[in-house]
Each structure stands twice: as C-alpha cells, then as structure tokens.
Amino acid sequence: MTYSGYFIWIFFFSRGVIADSVRSLPHVMKYQPVIPQRLRDSSLINDAATHQTYPDVLQYSLAIAGQNYTLYLEKNKDLVGKTFSVTHYSDQGTQVTSTPDLGVHCYYHGHIVGVEDSSASIGLCSGIKGFVRLRDQMYLIEPLAGTEAGQQDNRQNSEPHSDEGLHAVYNYKHLRRKRSSCSHGNTTTFYDHGAHPSGLFQLSSLKSSAQIKDRTGKPRTVELVVVVDNTEYKKFGSKKTIVARVLEVVNHVDKLYRPMGVRVMLVGLDIWSDRDHIEVSSVPEVTLGRFLKWRQQNLLPRTKHDNAQFITGVDFDGSTVGLANVNAMCTANSGAVNEDHNINSIGVASTMAHEMGHNLGLSHDTESCFCGTSKSKGGCIMSESVGLEYPKQFSSCSRQQLSRFLEEINPACLLDTPSTNRIYGGPVCGNAFLEPGEECDCGTVEECKNPCCNATTCKLAEGAKCAEGECCESCQLKASDSVCRPRAGDCDLIEYCTGFSASCPTDAYTQNGLPCNSGKGYCFNGQCPSREQHCKRLWGPYAHVAADACFSRQGNCRKTFGQRCLSRDQSCGTLFCSGGSEFPVTSSKTYKTLPNGDTCNEAIMKPEDNYPADLPMVPTGTKCGSNMVCYNQRCQDIKSIKAYGTNECSAKCNNHGVCNHENKCHCDHGWAPAFL
C-alpha cells in the first residue's frame, strides 16, 4: 500500500514516531513508509568484532511494493582515486585544497538476492539512500527521519536485525521532476538538443594494431573531476553536503556504467564556494563553451583527469538539463554541463551518465533500441528525453556504439588502468582488475558471468587452467597451432597460441620498408601509411588528398615554426585534404580556395588538445618516391634511415618466414615458433 498526505501521519503516530522529526518529501508524489532491517549472515565478515561502522559487505531486509526482499551490498572501493582531492575557495578567492580520508566511506553497490536482473546503488552515510532496480522497475529509498544529507550517523550498531529507522520507498515514476517548456508538454525533460560533434571518429587507424586488438574486453576507467558552481553550493549550503551529494551521484553513474565494462572513478571535486569562475548562462551551449575553456586553462594544468562534469544550480532554458560534445573523451573538449534539476540525486546522476555517454561516442536511442531483459524501449539512458521515468540501463544500441568507440577509436586516456596504489584500499577482489595475488577477477558475484573464475575468491574454478585470454577456451589452454590474432593488414603478422599461456604472444608486425598496398606504400610500424588514408582519418570517409597545387603553394615542413618545404619535400609536410566533413577530428581548420576552385583544407591543432603533435602532417613512413619515404617531414631514401633496417634478417629465415619489427624471424606456421 502507498501512502500520501493524511494517511502518512496516521502511520507515523501508530509507529510511535514524533511527527516533528519526520522529513517531508515535497519532491515525491507518493511513497511507502518502511523500516529496513539489517541482517547478519554468518558467512559474511563479523563486522561487530571488527567494529566497522560501514563494513565491506552488508545485507538488509527491505519491503518493496509490498514484498520482502534481501538487499545485498558491497562497498564500492573503486569510487574514488587515492589522489582524490576537494578544492574550495576562500572569501578572497584563494584555492583551498584538501584530501579527505575516504578510505572508509559509506557508498555501496549491490543487488537483490535471488533476482538475477537487479542492481542497487546505495549510500549509508545518513540513513539508507539510493536506488534499487528490480528488472524493469526502479525504486528509490531515502530516510524519513534522522540526520540531513552529508551528516554521518556515527552509528556503531552492528547487531543483527537492527532497526534502521523509518524510510520512504517509492517507484521512480512518482518522483517530481523539472517541467519542460510548453512546446514539449509538461511531462518531458530533455537531456540535450543535438550534442555537438567533436573529434576522434576514425583515430583507430593512427594506433598500432596491437593497441586495438589487445585492449578489447578489458575494463576502462574514466578518471573524473566534478565541478560545482556557486548556485549549487548555495542551494545545499555547505561543502560537506556538496561532497556527500557528489559522491552519491558518481556512485550511481559508476553503477550504470559497470555492466558496460567502464568504471567511473572520482579523482577531484572543485566547489565554487566564493563565486562562479565563469559566467553561467541559462543557455547550455554558452555555458558548455565557457566551462570547457575554463577546464583547459585552469583545471587540466593542476589535476590529471579524463573527463570533467559541471553541475549547476542554474535553470537552463526550456526543458534541457544537459549538453555535451560527442566523441570528446580524451580531448580538450572532454566534458559536459548538467543542471541539478531534482532534490533527489537520481536526476543529475542520470543526466551525467547520459552526457558522459555522448563524450564516449553514444548517440540518442532510436525506436529500434531496447534496454533490459524485458526488451523494454523505455527507460534507456541515452533516450533523448525523460518522460515519466528516469533511465535504468544502457540500450542495446548504446552497447554496440560504446564497443565500437572503445575498440576502433580506442581513446588513450581510458587505457591508463589505475594501479592499485591509486585505488583506495589497494587490491580488491571483485573490481574486474587483475591485481597481485589474484588468478582472475571477473567483477562482483552479481556481475561475474565467467564459469572459469570464482568471483568470491578471485581464484580459478576447480579444473580450470585459465579464466580469460585469447588462448583460453572453455577454461582450458588452446593448442599451440591455434590462431589467436589474425593478420590485420599487409604489414601485420599472424600470432599463434603457445600452448602454455592464456595470453596471445606480443603483437608482431613486418620489418619496416616492405612494400604494401600493391606497391603504393611501404610498411612502417605495422601500418601502410598514405596521404589518402590519413585524409579519411582526419576528415571522414569521403575525404581525399587535395590538389598538388595546395602542397606547392601552402605546404610547411615543420610543425612548430611553419618552415616552407623544399620542392622535393612538398609531399611530406602539411597534409591538405578536400571533401569529407565540415570539420576535422581536431575540431579546428584553416582552408584556402585556389583560383581554379580547388579547396585546400588543413586540420589545426590546439596546444591543449590530447592528440599526437604531428597529427595534421603527412604521416611518417608515407611513400614519396621509389624507395623514398617521408621521415621528419623530409622525403628520404629508405636505406639512409636507421628505422628501416636491412634485408639480412630475412635471409636467415630460409624462405619459411619473414623479418618482424624486432629484426627476428617470424616463422611460417608449422616450421618453428615465432621469434627464433
């Protein structure tokens, strides 16, 4: 039974609760009062003996929609990085940075025992607050009595079946939300209206095949900084309350991304306690531009991070609550703006997950997308708008897009897996990172789908020889003649399993200088570079090399000083392209139109962009003549360049192999192991 208004008061008095101590919930239309019971499981750690206020594992008995469930919770030990810091500002504008002791915090992830399709994100700092998803329904829980947000209970009670006090449980559809503009009706809130494109859509080809092929399936970590504006700070009234709310938000965002193989770790929080450090406009596009400029000039130089999310208390125009650049992760534009549009943190957490999704290359869901096991088309995180329900999961389309973004675009900053000394508490079984002392780590018991790994102990299952890897199949090592990494191009080599390791041998490629692409190029570091392909990487699949006149009139052969090319080096300097997208992956360009109408487009780099410094230039190794390649922006003879080696190695391979990049024989299959 749900309660509202007058009926709640009857319940309070019948339970002996003083009415004045009960919080009102004006942001909730109706809810069910419950008293969660903390349980003791003899198989869990005896927290009473260790005097842990917030132990690693907890269980609660909780009534949801008239039925009793057991809520299983594990502390999210990867929520914050070890270098996590909070910066606020004195009245005089001086930065004050502190490092809170969050080694023992109160934020958890979990699930409903016995319900496979369930999840939970919970904070226990001041009562029980968070979300619980039961299949395609999401429920919210928050305390009706006790301390305010941001104030810890200081509870030491670890007795079994302890009373956690009166709480409200309600379906998320009953949470009041921001009203939209009249043109969209009054039940729809829009996350953004056409997030801007930004860089990186084909950068995979700039990386070696080893980087792309060896990184698939491994967890990525977004190291996040959250920035809170002055309006938001004043709304909640204290630094402590803001810190608690942001941790609650990021804990929820991390939980949403975990099934996608992405972790979100908070490494910094910047609270504008004195004033706004940019002019925060009600126009989201304007605020986004100003915030990203501030990030580049002020935040990036002092705090290493991958992504920055701005939370504002300003009401954006119309029904929009967030805006972000698409494909911007790991660039100078990696960030978003989010309006905190609901007293419950689920609102801004959902917005942040959505906008970060754009940064990760996700577009809005279409009619063909669904999320959850019920094939529901509603409640997906990348839906363009929120109707009567907040999103619960990423859709099938989002999963495919993220997989493509990670495997093809392969943003470098996410490959920087945090070492255990950067994660609070050191190695943790169940965080999906293989760490010292572990034979495997498939995530939490809830997440683990790997029959070869014991999720509780992070040891191999009985009889298993391996748990993951290109050379692991059905928990056993593959035979030595099994291909584990097929050839990815003219300049790549096939790798075979060794028979004694679950990992594929190190990716090898041909010796530099071998002909490729039907003689149109020469191999260089596993690639067959060309001006034509590089134009497509920079400007999209319909781009091509510009007219020769662009190179002879405009070409520069030095990135820094704009040095003009000698005649023989013109094809090795600045890369000019024609056609393709309006802007390149760097988001900036210059162009010139020749008298005959031909266009010379040049991609421009900004100092703060996280791209290779020579990205706008003709790629190193590009063929510029017979036995001639571009090297240091000059057209040089291959034989004069040390990086191109000699033919001596190939002569030692007895016509049954080729020379690889380490100048060793990479033998044909059946003759001998590679690298002899």
Known catalytic residues are: 355
- Residue 341 marked in a binding site: no
Amino acid at 99: T
* Distance, CA of 72 to CA of 196 (rounded, Å): 40
In degrees and rounded to multiples of 5, residue 578 shows phi and psi of -140, 150
Instruction: Classify each residue of 96-115 as buried b or exposed e, where b means 16 or more C-beta atoms within 10 Å of its C-beta.
Output: eeeeeebeebbbbbbbbeee
Q: What is the DSSP letter of 560?
A: T
Which of 78, 87, 344, 416 shows the shortest CA–CA distance to 226?
87
Q: What is the DSSP letter of 3?
A: B
Q: Which two tokens mark 121?
A: 């994100």
Q: What is the DSSP letter of 148?
A: P
- Residue 354 marked in a binding site: yes
* Distance, CA of 11 to CA of 575 (rounded, Å): 74
- Within 10 angstroms of residue 95's Cβ, the number of other Cβ atoms is 12
- Within 10 angstroms of residue 457's Cβ, the number of other Cβ atoms is 13
DSSP string, 522-587: E-BTTB---HHHHHHHHH-TTEEEPPHHHHHHH-BS-TTT-PBPPGGGGGGSB--EEES-SS-TTS
- Within 10 angstroms of residue 173's Cβ, the number of other Cβ atoms is 14
- Residue 105 marked in a binding site: no
CA atoms in the 13 A half-sphere facing the CB of 145: 17
| 3 state DSSP class of 226 | strand
All residues at 6 or more sequence positions from 450 whose CB lies less than 8 Å from its CB, including other chains: 440, 442, 467, 468
Contact 397, 390 (CB under 8 A): no
Q: How many helices (H) and strands (E) does the chain have?
A: 11, 37
From the annotation, which residues make up the binding site?
Answer: 354, 358, 364
From the annotation, which residues make up the binding site for Zn(2+)?
Answer: 354, 358, 364
